[in-house]
Chains A and B, each alone.
Chain A
Amino acid sequence: MGTENPGRPNFPMRPSFTPFASAPPTVRPFSPHGPATGPESSNFRPSPPARFSDPSVPSPPITSVPPSGVPYQRFPTPPFPSAAQAPPNRAPPVGQPPFQPPASQVSVPPPSFRPQTQALPVPMGSPPQNANFPPSSMNAPQPPTDSSLSGIRPNFQQPFPGYPSKQPAGSYGPPPSVAANLGYQSRDQMQHPGSAPPIGGVQRLTEDFSSLAVASIPGTNDPALDNRSLPRPLDGDVVPSSFLEMYPMNCDPRYLRLTTNAIPNSQSLVSRWHLPLGAVVCPLAEAPEGEEVPAINFSSTGIIRCRRCRTYVNPYVTFTDAGRKWRCNICSFLNDVPGEYFANLDATGRRIDLDQRPELIKGSVEFVAPTEYMVRPPMPPLYFFLIDVSISAVRSGMIESSLTQPQMMVVSDLDDIFVPLPDDLLVNLSESKNVVETFLDSLPSMFQDNVNVESAFGPALKAAFMVMSQLGGKLLIFQNSLPSLGVGRLKLRGDDLRVYGTDKEHILRLPEDPFYKQMAADLTKYQIGVNIYAFSDKYTDIASLGTLAKYTGGQVYYYPSFQSGIHGEKLSHELARDLTRETAWEAVMRIRCGKGIRFTSYHGNFMLRSTDLLALPAVDCDKAYAMQLSLEETLLTTQTVYFQVALLYTASCGERRIRVHTAAAPVVTDLGEMYRQADTGAIVSLFSRLAIEKTLTSKLEDARNSLQLRIVKALREYRNLYSVQHRLGARMIYPESLKFLCLYGLALFKSVPLKGGYADVQLDERCAAGFTMMALPVKKLLKLLYPSLIRIDEYLLKPSAQADGFKNIMKRLPLVAESLDSRGLYIYDDGFRFVIWFGRMVSPDIAKNLLGPDFAAELSRLDIIVGIQHIQDLLQMLAMINVALTEHDNEMSRRLMKILKKLRESDPSYYQLPYLVRQGEQPREGLLLLVNLIEDQMGGTTGYADWITQIQRQVQQN
C-alpha cells in the first residue's frame, strides 16, 4: 500500500486548482486537444480514494464519484450511508463537456505511480492507508474534478446497483496495493483521437491504448488503413517484461506464461474478459547456458511442503514466529519448520540463510525426490522401435534411412538405450551392441524382396505393448501405410469429398476405431509414450494414429511423400533430437493455484489421470501444455494469487525429481488492467488449442468463426471502456499488449489445421499439423504462425565477413508479396523448414556461387522448371535442388550455410530442410511460399488490412 501514499498528499491541493476547471482556456497547457503529455495523462487519475473501497475511509462523496477510466470496478463503495451528500455534487456537471480534463491533478508527480517495492508479497492486513488523510479535504474539491466523468457515465453503474452490498464491509479490505498501483496507469486514457501517444516523462504512462484508423475517407473507397502502419511482430515473441520486474522471484516466462498477468477478482470481470483466461506451461523448457534449474537435495529433512495443500516450499512463503513456522502462500496454512531446516530470521523477517537456499529465492527449482515419490524404482529409459516393413516403406527408403540413426545414437547416449530384437526381447545396448548393429544392417536386406502391401499395425502395436509394459518407455512407430490387417485396421476414409461441409466432417479428424483410444489409455497406464513417424504419400489416417501420440504425451512427425534422398537428413536429425533431448520419464504434472480459483480444463498432448493431474509417460523440452482457469468464488479477497507447477519425473540418469515453478500474479479489479497486462503469446497459444479441439467436434468454419467471435468480443469490450470519453469514431482501439492479436488470429485462420476446406490441405497433413500445434511451446507456435522472412543477398555480397553483421541481417520483413524484391534472395523460416527464394533478377553470380555452376544454369532456364507438372517430377526436382544446396568452396556459399546453421541452432526442435524456389516458378512458388505470406489476400482468404476492417466492423456492430 505504501505507494499509494505518495499520491495522497496531492489531494489537498486540488482545491487550489479547481478554479481552472471552470475556466478551461486559461489552464489549457494541458488541453485535451493538444498532444497528451505526461502530466496531462495524470489528469485522469483523479480519485485514488475511490479505488480504496476500504470501509475505513470516511470519504463518502469521493467514493460515490466514479473515477475516470474504468468505473466498473470501483462501484463497491457507493452505498455508504453518507452517500446522500454525493448527488448535489454530481448533479451540476452533467452538462459539462465530457472531455474537460480535470485539471486539478495536474500536479500529481508521475513518478510516484510506479510500482516499486510492493511487488514483493505484501504481508496480509496492511494498515488502512488512509489513516492520515483528512477526509474533509477530499470532499470539497471533488465535484469539479470528477464531474465530467460522472456525468457521462452513470449508465455504467446501473448493472451493478446491488453489488457492493453483497460484500461484507470488512472483507473487501484494502485493495491490493499492486493492483491499485497498476490502476494508475490505467487512468491515463486522456489520449484523444488523433493525438500522438503521450510522450511524457513517465514511460509507463505511455502505455495507452493503441489505435488504428480504419474508416475510409468519406467519399472515397480507399480504406484509410495504411498497410505499413499495421502492427507486426517483427521482433518475434516479446514477453511482457513489466510483470517480471514486478515479481522478480517468479519463474521465467519460458516455463509458465499467463494469458493475462492480472487476475480478475470477480466472476463478472471474468465474463467480460472474452479471451481465454489461463496459462501455458512448458515445464522442461530449455534454459540458456547458466540459467539451469538448480537441483536441491533435501535428503535429511524430506521435501518441505505445506501440510494442507501440498504446495512445495517456494520464494513466496513467509517465515514467522522467529523462523519456527512458515505460512503457505497458496492456502495460508501455518506449517512448522522442521528442525533441520530451521534458520533464524533477521530484522526484516528474512531467513539469514536465504542465499544458500535456492528454493527460497528462485522461482524454478528441482527437488530430488525420495522414495515416497516413487510408485516403483526408476526404470531404465527404454526406446522401442516399431517399423513398418511393407513394400511402400521399403520402396521409399524409409527403413534404410531411419535405421542408420540408432547406430548414431549408440555413440551419443550409450548405456541406456534398448532396442528390440525380432524375438521380442529387450536387450541392453551396451552389452549387445554388435547384435543390434548386425540386425540393423541386415534389416533393409531382410525385407528387400518384400512385396507385402498390408500392414498389421494393430497386432504389432499390441506385441510392442506387451513387451514394454514391464518397463515403460518410449515407443517410436514408423508407419508408411494404412494399417490394414488385424485389430485396429482402418478404412480409406479421407478422400470422401461429400463429407466436407456437412455435420459429419469432423469425424474424419477423429480416430475411426475406438481401439486407438483404448490403446492410448493402456499405453499411458503402463508409462509408455508414443511418437509417430508417418511417411506415406497416401492416406495413412494420421487422425487415428496420432491419437496414440496425443494421449501418451508424444508427438507426430509427418513426412509426406518421404524419399530418403530428400527427407533423410531431416528424419535423421529429428530422430536424433527425439532420442537425445532431455526426456523426463513416468512424469505427472499438477498445477496448483490459490484459493478461489481453479484450473478447469487442460489442452495439449497428455492424458488426465485425475481432475487436475496430467499423466505424461515421456515429456521433454518441446512440449507445452495449456490450461484454463475459472473463479470458484464470486469475489477474490486476496491481493495476489500464486501458481505452482510441479512435475514429478524420472530423469534419464535414473533419479526421481520434482521440478517446481512458482509464479505470482496480482489480483485486479479493473478490466482495463487485465487487457493491459495481457500476454498475446499465451492467448494465441490457448486460442490455437481451443480452435483445433473445436475442429474435432464441429466444422472448420465453426471453429474459425468462434475464434473470430471471441477476438471481436474482446476488442468490443475494450472499446466500450473508452468509447464514452473519447470520440473513437471509426478507429480501432486495442491495448498495446494485444496489438498482434488480430494478426495472429488471421494467421491461425490460415494455419494448416484450420484453413480453408477440403481442397486446401490434405486431411493427413491437417491432422498432423493439429497434433503438432497442440504441443508447441508459445515461442515456436508464434514463429510458425508468423514466420520470419529475411533478405540475405546483401549480406552474402558484402565484401568482408563481419561477425557482428549477423545480427543486423536478421531483420524480419512483413509477410507480404511486396516484401519480395526480384533482385533479392530471401529466407523464409517457420521453424519447420526453410524456403529460399531467388528473385528473378538475382545476380547470376549469387546463384552460381550458391548452387554450383550446373544447377545455376538449370535455374536460369526457367521454362524447364515451369514445365514441371507431374508430382513425381516435382519430387525429383526437389531432390535435385536440395542436393544442390551443399556447401561450395566459396565465401558466399559458406556464409549461406552459416546463416542456415545459425537459424537451425536458434530453433533445434525440428530440422529445417531448405527448399529452393525461384520467382515465378509455378506451382512451387505458390505452394511453398506465396500461400504462406499470410498478410496477402490469396484465393478466397482475407488480407491483413481487410481482416482488420472486417474485425473493426464487427466490433462496432453492437
Chain B
Amino acid sequence: MAWDLIFWVLCFFINIALLASSFYQLLSLSDLEADHLNPFEATTRINSIVLPDFLLQAFLCLSFLLTWHWFMFLFTLPITAYHLMLYLNRKHLLDVTEIFRDLNTEKKYRFVKLAVYLLLFTVVLFRLLSASIFFFFAWKFEELDIRTSLFY
C-alpha cells in the first residue's frame, strides 16, 4: 500500500525534474536563437544536463518495468530507446560549432520530448492521486471492499 504511494510520489518528482530539464534546454535554445545567449554558454548549459536527464529517464523506465507497470513502461520506452541510440552514436551532446545548423532539429526534438513528458505527467498525476486516495481512504472502504471495482 504505502509502497505504491511512495513509488508514485517518486515518479512524480522524477517526472517534474524531467519536465524542468526539457523546459530549461528549450529555453536555452530559444535564448540562443534570440541572441540572448552565446553558443558557448548555451551548449555548456545544455550539455551539462543531458546525461543526468538521460539517466533519470532511463531510471524511470526501468523502475516501471521492475514494478510491472506495463503500460507506463511501454509509454516511456521509445524515449529511452531514442536516448540510447543517441548516446551510442555519440550524438547526444550539442555540437557547439554547428549548433545553428542543428538548432531547428534540436528544438523540435526537445519539443516532442516535452510533450511526451507532459503526457506522462498527467498519467503519473492520475496514478498518484488514485494511489493516495486509495491509501488515505482505503480504511473507509475496507468493509465495502469496492476497491477492486474502483482501482483495479
Instruction: Point out residues on A near B: beta carbons under 8 Å.
Output: 514, 517-518, 520-522, 525, 547, 551, 601, 607-611, 613
9 A-B pairs with the lowest CB-CB distances in the bound complex, closest first = A521-B96, A610-B35, A608-B100, A551-B97, A517-B97, A525-B40, A521-B97, A607-B97, A611-B100
Query: With A and B bound together, what is the CA distance between A551 and B35 in angstroms?
Result: 19
Look across to chain B and name the residue whose beta carbon is closest to the beta carbon of A601: B101
Q: A522-B40, A525-B40 are in contact. List 19 more A-B contacts (CB 8 A).
A: A517-B95, A517-B96, A517-B97, A518-B96, A521-B39, A521-B43, A521-B97, A547-B97, A601-B101, A607-B39, A607-B97, A608-B39, A608-B99, A609-B39, A610-B32, A610-B35, A611-B100, A611-B103, A613-B35
Q: Which residue of B lies closest to A520 (CB)?
A: B97
- Inter-chain CA distance A620–B136, complex, in Å, is 74
Measured CA separation A201–B96 after assembly (Å): 58
A265 to B31, CA, bound (A): 31
Q: Give the most central of B33, B39, B103: most A CB within 10 Å.
A: B39
Among B32, B35, B40, B103, point to the contact of A521 (Cβ < 8 A). B40
Residues of chain B within 8 A of A611, CB atoms compared:
33, 35, 100, 103
A520 proximity list for chain B (CB < 8 A): 97
Give the most central of A514, A517, A611, A613: most B CB within 10 Å: A611
Closest B residue to A607 using CB positions: B97
Q: Does B90 interact with chain A (Cβ within 8 Å)?
A: yes
- Residue numbers in A under 8 Å from B103 (CB-CB): 611
Residues in B whose Cβ lies below 8 Å from that of A607: 39, 97
Determine the distance from Cα of A514 to Cα of B91 in the docked complex, in whole angstroms. 10
CB distance from A319 to the nearest CB of B (A): 31
Contacts of A610 in B (CB 8 A): 32, 35, 38-39, 100
Instruction: Give chain A residues whose Cβ lies under 8 Å from the Cβ of B32.
Output: 610
- Check if B93 is an interface residue, CB within 8 A of chain A: yes
Give 25 A-B contacts (CB < 8 Å), ordered by A residue: A514-B90, A514-B93, A517-B96, A517-B97, A520-B97, A521-B39, A521-B40, A521-B96, A521-B97, A547-B97, A551-B97, A607-B39, A607-B97, A608-B39, A608-B99, A608-B100, A609-B39, A610-B32, A610-B35, A610-B38, A610-B39, A611-B35, A611-B100, A611-B103, A613-B35
In the complex, which residue of chain B has the Cβ closest to the Cβ of A693? Answer: B101
1-52 of chain B: CB within 8 A of chain A = 32-33, 35, 38-40, 43
Measured in the bound complex, the distance between the Cα atoms of B47 and A521 in whole Å is: 14
Q: Which residues of B contact A551 (CB under 8 A)?
A: 97
Interface residues of B in 61-85 (CB under 8 A from A): none
Q: Which residues of A contact B38 (CB under 8 A)?
A: 609-610
CB distance from B55 to the nearest CB of A (A): 20
Q: Please give the distance in Å from A389's CB to the nearest CB on chain B.
A: 29
Chain A nearest CB: distance from B77 CB in Å?
Answer: 26
B134, chain A: closest CB distance, angstroms: 49
Q: How far is the CA of A610 from the CA of B100 in the complex (A)?
A: 8
Which residues of the partner chain B approach A521 to less than 8 Å between Cβ atoms? 39-40, 43, 96-97
- Nearest-neighbour CB distance to chain A for B32, whole angstroms, equals 8
Question: In the assembled complex, how far is the CB of residue B94 from the closest CB belonging to chain A, in whole angstroms?
Answer: 11
What chain A residues lie within 8 Å of B99 (beta carbons)?
608
CA distance A75 to B93 in the complex (A): 49
Compute how far the CA of A613 lies from the CA of B33 in the bound complex, rounded to whole angstroms: 12
Distance A601 CA – B100 CA, assembled complex (angstroms): 9
Smallest CB-CB separation from B38: which chain A residue?
A609
Please report the C-alpha to C-alpha distance between residue A383 and residue B4 in the assembled complex, in whole angstroms. 66
* Smallest CB separation, A499 vs chain B (Å): 16
Q: How far is the CA of A611 from the CA of B38 in the complex (A)?
A: 10
Q: Which residues of the partner chain A approach B101 to less than 8 Å between Cβ atoms?
A: 601
- Mask, B98-109, CB within 8 Å of A = 1, is 011101000000
Enumerate chain A residues within 8 angstroms of B100, measured Cβ to Cβ. Answer: 608, 610-611
A601 to B93, CA, bound (A): 22
Q: How far is the CB of B96 from chain A (nearest CB, A)?
A: 4
B96 proximity list for chain A (CB < 8 A): 517-518, 521
In the assembled complex, which residues on chain B have CB atoms less than 8 Å from the CB atom of A613? 35
Q: A514, A522, A551, A607: which has the most chain B beta carbons within 10 Å?
A: A607
Q: Collect the chain A residues with CB atoms within 8 Å of residue B95's CB.
A: 517
Residues of A within 8 A of B93 (CB): 514
Question: Which residues of chain A have C-beta atoms less than 8 A from B35's C-beta?
Answer: 610-611, 613
